[in-house]
Structure 1
Amino acid sequence: MNLKNNQWIKKLGGIALSLAVLCTSCTPTFAATGSPDTSMERSLTIHKYRMEDMSHSTTEGTGQQTDVVPADAVPLPGIAFKVTKMQDTDNTKVDTTWNIQTVTTGADGSVTISGNSNLPMGVYKVEEQTNPAVAVKADPCLVSVPLTNPAGDGWIYNVHIFPKNQIKPGPDIDKFVTELEKKHDTSDISQSVKWIVETTLPDDVATCKNYTVTDVIDTRLDYVTGSVKVYRVDTNKNRVLMTPDGYTVTEPSTANSRTLTVSLTDAGKKTAAKSLPNAKDKKATLNIEFNTLVNKNAESSLGKPIPNGATIHYTNNLDIFFEPQSVPDDKKPEVHTGGINLLKVDADDNAVKLQGTKFKIYRTEADAKKNINAVKDPANKAIDWEVTTDANGVAHFWGLAYGQKGQDAYYGDSTNYWIVETQAPVDANGKPYNMLKYPVKVTVNSNSHNEANKIMIENIKHYDLPYTGGMGDRTPLYIGAALILLAGGAAVMLIRRHRQEKQR
């Protein structure tokens, strides 16, 4: 039977649900066509059923085994009943000569009290005992053994009653990112992201058979080993960290399809129950927290959400297995990441693409100017993230947080970063270009990683400076010296000629 959380049950609240018609009720009369045969073997059998819709049960029982139960009624084992014999002369008072019995329904949902010495003729009060898994227990009823048959002309010595009720719904599940009630976050590819699975605690958590949460980690996320923490939370939102003996953890691996599994141990179930009782419209909860890192697989979905859900597996204390409940697709929390593409070109001719330029990236301009606190390398978080332009002059930083916590990936705000050139390119003659003097602001958003949004960064060629000595090319010096010598020789000749003319 499919046991989903029934909204109709939740609406019952404190309204008392009368179940009188669900349990055979009779008067302590023995009037029929004659007195009952005291030698006939007598028995009283209780058949316990659970139903999702109690409106299907509208026929009063007759005390016969052939009484028909609704098609959707399911036998309910593990339910205790107290059976008390009442006085023959006054069925409002207990017959203290008979020992009160407490019996529990078996695997088929029934239990029988039999044997004439064990079950003297008379009127018995049958009372269902409280069980935390039961929503509303059946009303007490009086049963006469033997019981007058429906025709009123004979006796039923083996009396059967069929009390029915609903069981409580299983736990609900939700999931958040970074903090409770947040469904969206953003992250660098090197930053840790916290996820919080929240499940409600049913009233029978202390004795339930199974309480397990599974979470299949998205391939774009890497689980952080040893990061699981479990908190029990009461209806006043007080959180108490549970000790590791309260739960078992199976961490994600390739062998288990990247599934994280957290199960409460018997000790953990009892500890979790300390957060009960649940209150009207308020449920005690369990918070399971763990961390992941956005990995390089996220490069294929930049600017898009990376959702992650979870599932609760629950079997109540009556050994009833509930259909696993998962976080709906439209309520799964998400994380998103973005990126930028850089295009390095010659300032004089943008058609010339510059290979070999290196860049680092920073979250603030102040850090960029001081060359401190650079974003860390996704593959090795001990070093700064540095990229190099390829033969087409292109380099990229993919996996950068953008926007603000709580904002959807498609509509989130943008975030500014600053890049710093750490190695200048060289031209075709092997001469280096000038490095950028100042950090360059770049903006990351849901579309900044697209090819059409490449950020062009120009480099100016290194200027030719005057020669500053050294052996170098001395031809100009030799020419200058020759000119000087020629000028000096000409001057000498002119002086001699002038003296000769005077002597004449």
Structure 2
Amino acid sequence: MAALVGAVVAALVLPVSPALAAPTIPTGGTGSLTIHKFETPDSGVTVGTGEALPSATTDAWTPVPGVTFRVRQVNTIDLTTNAGWDAAAALADRFNAAGGDVNSITSGSPAYTLGAAKAPDAAVTDGDGIQKFSALPIGLYLVEEVGVPTQIDGENVGVTPAAPFLVTVPITNQAGNEWLYEVHAYPKNAVISQPEKTVTDSGVVQVGDQTKWTVSAEIQGTPADLDGNGVIEGNQEKYHFDFFAMVDDLDPRLKPLTGGDYNLTHFEVKLSGGVTSDEVIVLRDYYSVGYTAATNQLRMVLRADALAMLPDHHGGTITFTFYTTALESGTISNTADVYTHQYRAESGSVVRPEPGTPGGPATTTTATQKFGGIRVLKTDDANQALAGAEFEVYTGLLPSGAPDPAKKVTVSPTGGTAVATWTSDANGELVIDGLRYSDWADGEDIDLDDSDVVGDADGEDAANASKFITYYLVEVKAPEGYSLLGAPVKFTVRDQAAETGESDLDVVNVPVNAGFQLPLTGGTGTTLLFTVGGLLVAGGVVYLLAARRRRGQAAADTTSTLALQ
């Protein structure tokens, strides 16, 4: 592995025959270590020598205040002896070959212990990016960056801690003719805009629907003298990467989609922009994805061929996209961690360093999605609970006002039972749960004034209007003796469902036919009608017979009259 700028200083400058390089180091002597923290410059980078760099070199660099370093002495290495320098050189080689793994110091052969942390002159780097450790006993020291700022000048930033490095106090000067007791180190690493995590769920209606998450980070490498010529030049050396990973410890209410082809079906990694390339490159076989179900952890690690692409995209963006489904309702917030150093640990096991610790990650912004519900109370017009009413939920209506069959909601939590119909219990209550908040989409509140209209208040983006969800409650079976609701009932979801005994929505049913009684076949009323009808018919027959008799009598009278004539 190539030596990093400001890293493994001892391995770079330790003399082969230290006794000939300078006067004897006095027993009991002391020195100091001044650490200068700058953002990685775009050009003019050289390998550190332990000497202070001229202001003409550093004036154009940007200091990083608020950084904390930990300095610990490697015990039992005596630099007042040649044997001690030989041991330091061997350990530096071992440490360098292990990629700066602290474990190579404490569990290698021979194994060394580390002393207590030395007290710095100031707790963190100052406005010039400097933190000094004075009165250090002669020795070999491990330097680790253990604390990084999350803001610089009021702006959220991501500062990835520099890799640990070894340095001796004193160190020979560049000319090789004297000892330097005032040692200067310049561990550089990129200060980037805080990595971002975003959620895209405007098309999500209920738990179980697929949600898209994206983790994005600015591409900033670390200088490395790959060819050992003492000069950092070219993109591969100026913006070097030997590791890159994005790790997401998902909320337990989320389940990532991991079936099928990991690198094609449910995941995407791409590079965009940069110093020598403005194209978008979708990486397919250049990364690996791992998932640990026990901890619900999702990991994306770039392979070597992808790492070699990153320097040409310095200043650009790398994004990792994946998908989840929600298991239950709630406000679900998540961040991810972006690593540019290999995981290391002193214990001998490989564990992830925490943010702000040596080799630790930059943490993204927080992305949030929200699922909730409502508690419905079903009563009659006398406020008596009604059991057995069945409802469906829709997110849209037809022009006629009827529910749109294409907008029917079926809540299908991953690993759970799908629910498409909700029934009121003996208390007249039913809970509809697992619905996306009406006014929350793509990680933000889209209806700031809670008016159910997006774009009518300051700060509201009218373009988000289509993301707002209005739900419709449709009764499909009324309790016995009661009428169905005449129209869908509109409602919104802005919170979790109310507790038992309370309600978010009251729905009242009226008796069948609004309480009016219709005539019944076979009853007393129809008997009366039949009786009256019978009398009318009988009367008609009597009238008909009487009329016929009158007509017959009139005809007989006419015949008699004609005969007399």
Q: TM-score, normalised by structure 2?
A: 0.51
Q: Are the counterparts in 2 of residues 177 and 185 from structure 1 also a CA contact under 8 Å?
A: no
Q: Distance in 1 between matches of 2:219 and 2:428?
A: 58
Instruction: Tell me the residue number matched to 1:177.
Output: 198
Percent sequence identity is 14
Instruction: Tell me the residue number matched to 1:455.
Output: 505
1:465/1:230 CA distance change after superposition, 3 Å: same
What is the CA-CA distance between 1:469 and the residue it aligns to? 5.7
RMSD over equivalenced CA pairs, Å: 5.4
Question: Alignment partner for residue 424 of structure 1, among 453, 472, 477?
Answer: 477
Q: Distance in 1 between matches of 2:388 and 2:248?
A: 44
Question: Alignment partner for residue 199 of structure 1, among 191, 197, 217?
Answer: 217
Q: Distance in 1 between matches of 2:423 and 2:343?
A: 61
Question: Alignment partner for residue 423 of structure 2, among 385, 388, 392?
Answer: 388
Q: Distance in 1 between matches of 2:431 and 2:366?
A: 30
Q: Distance in 2 between matches of 1:367 and 1:294?
A: 34
Q: Distance in 2 between matches of 1:68 and 1:140?
A: 16
Question: Alignment partner for residue 401 of structure 1, among 422, 428, 437?
Answer: 437
Q: Distance in 2 between matches of 1:344 and 1:230?
A: 50
Q: Are the counterparts in 2 of residues 342 and 456 from structure 1 also a CA contact under 8 Å?
A: yes
| 1:22 aligned onto 2:22 | no
Instruction: Tell me the residue number matched to 2:484.
Output: 435
Give the counterpart letter for 2:285 in structure 1: D
Instruction: Tell me the residue number matched to 1:80.
Output: none
Instruction: Tell me the residue number matched to 1:287.
Output: 319
Give the counterpart letter for 2:439 in structure 1: G
Q: Are the counterparts in 2 of residues 194 and 289 from structure 1 also a CA contact under 8 Å?
A: yes
Question: Alignment partner for residue 378 of structure 2, among 320, 323, 344?
Answer: 344
Q: Please state whether the residue corresponding to 1:402 is helix, strand or coil.
A: coil
1:353/1:56 CA distance change after superposition, 3 Å: same
Give the counterpart letter for 1:289 in structure 2: T
Q: Are the counterparts in 1 of residues 387 and 426 from structure 2 also a CA contact under 8 Å?
A: yes
Q: Distance in 1 between matches of 2:40 and 2:222?
A: 20
Q: Please state whether the residue corresponding to 1:267 is helix, strand or coil.
A: helix
Q: Are the counterparts in 2 of residues 176 and 196 from structure 1 also a CA contact under 8 Å?
A: yes
Give the counterpart letter for 1:355 in structure 2: G
What is the CA-CA distance between 1:246 and the residue it aligns to? 0.8
| 1:215 aligned onto 2:251 | no
Give the counterpart letter for 1:438 in structure 2: A
Question: Alignment partner for residue 360 of structure 2, among 324, 345, 350?
Answer: 324
Q: Are the counterparts in 2 of residues 344 and 357 from structure 1 also a CA contact under 8 Å?
A: no
Instruction: Tell me the residue number matched to 2:70.
Output: none
Q: Are the counterparts in 2 of residues 178 and 193 from structure 1 also a CA contact under 8 Å?
A: yes
Q: Are the counterparts in 1 of residues 377 and 506 from structure 2 also a CA contact under 8 Å?
A: yes
Give the counterpart letter for 2:215 in structure 1: V
Instruction: Tell me the residue number matched to 1:247.
Output: 287
1:259/1:375 CA distance change after superposition, 3 Å: farther
Q: Distance in 2 between matches of 1:162 and 1:474?
A: 117
Q: Distance in 2 between matches of 1:54 and 1:416?
A: 53
1:139/1:370 CA distance change after superposition, 3 Å: farther
What is the CA-CA distance between 1:332 and the residue it aligns to? 1.7
What is the CA-CA distance between 1:327 and the residue it aligns to? 2.5
1:353/1:286 CA distance change after superposition, 3 Å: same
Question: Alignment partner for residue 402 of structure 2, among 360, 366, 369?
Answer: 369
Q: Distance in 1 between matches of 2:378 and 2:219?
A: 58
| 1:306 aligned onto 2:345 | no
1:375/1:170 CA distance change after superposition, 3 Å: farther
What is the CA-CA distance between 1:456 and the residue it aligns to? 1.2
Q: Are the counterparts in 2 of residues 185 and 407 from structure 1 also a CA contact under 8 Å?
A: no
Q: Distance in 2 between matches of 1:481 and 1:285?
A: 91
Q: Please state whether the residue corresponding to 2:338 is helix, strand or coil.
A: strand
CA deviations over 1:303-328 (Å, ceiling 9, x no partner)? xx311111233326999994322527
Q: Distance in 2 between matches of 1:369 and 1:315?
A: 59
Q: Please state whether the residue corresponding to 2:470 is helix, strand or coil.
A: strand
CA deviations over 1:435-455 (Å, ceiling 9, x no partner)? 222222213223675664421
Q: Please state whether the residue corresponding to 1:178 is helix, strand or coil.
A: strand
Give the counterpart letter for 1:220 in structure 2: R
| 1:353 aligned onto 2:386 | yes
Q: TM-score, normalised by structure 1?
A: 0.56
Question: Alignment partner for residue 341 of structure 2, among 291, 315, 319?
Answer: 315
List runs of 5+ in structure 1 lacking aligned partners: 25-43, 60-66, 75-106, 111-137, 151-159, 277-282, 492-504
Q: Are the counterparts in 1 of residues 394 and 404 from structure 2 also a CA contact under 8 Å?
A: no
Q: Please state whether the residue corresponding to 2:251 is helix, strand or coil.
A: coil
Instruction: Tell me the residue number matched to 2:307.
Output: 269
Q: Distance in 2 between matches of 1:367 and 1:171?
A: 58
Q: Are the counterparts in 2 of residues 420 and 440 from structure 1 also a CA contact under 8 Å?
A: yes
Q: Are the counterparts in 2 of residues 171 and 314 from structure 1 also a CA contact under 8 Å?
A: no
What is the CA-CA distance between 1:378 and the residue it aligns to? 2.0
Q: Distance in 2 between matches of 1:367 and 1:195?
A: 38
| 1:258 aligned onto 2:296 | yes
Q: Distance in 2 between matches of 1:390 and 1:361?
A: 21
1:409/1:418 CA distance change after superposition, 3 Å: closer
Instruction: Tell me the residue number matched to 1:189.
Output: 207
What is the CA-CA distance between 1:190 and the residue it aligns to? 4.3
What is the CA-CA distance between 1:143 and the residue it aligns to? 3.6
Q: Are the counterparts in 2 of residues 211 and 315 from structure 1 also a CA contact under 8 Å?
A: yes
Q: Please state whether the residue corresponding to 2:189 is helix, strand or coil.
A: coil
Q: Please state whether the residue corresponding to 2:288 is helix, strand or coil.
A: strand
Q: Distance in 2 between matches of 1:191 and 1:486?
A: 74
Instruction: Tell me the residue number matched to 1:31.
Output: none
| 1:10 aligned onto 2:39 | yes
What is the CA-CA distance between 1:198 and the residue it aligns to? 2.1
Q: Distance in 1 between matches of 2:493 and 2:535?
A: 65
What is the CA-CA distance between 1:401 and the residue it aligns to? 2.5
Q: Please state whether the residue corresponding to 1:9 is helix, strand or coil.
A: coil
Q: Are the counterparts in 1 of residues 271 and 317 from structure 2 also a CA contact under 8 Å?
A: yes
Q: Are the counterparts in 2 of residues 404 and 412 from structure 1 also a CA contact under 8 Å?
A: no
1:437/1:252 CA distance change after superposition, 3 Å: farther
Q: Are the counterparts in 2 of residues 212 and 264 from structure 1 also a CA contact under 8 Å?
A: yes
Instruction: Tell me the residue number matched to 1:157.
Output: none
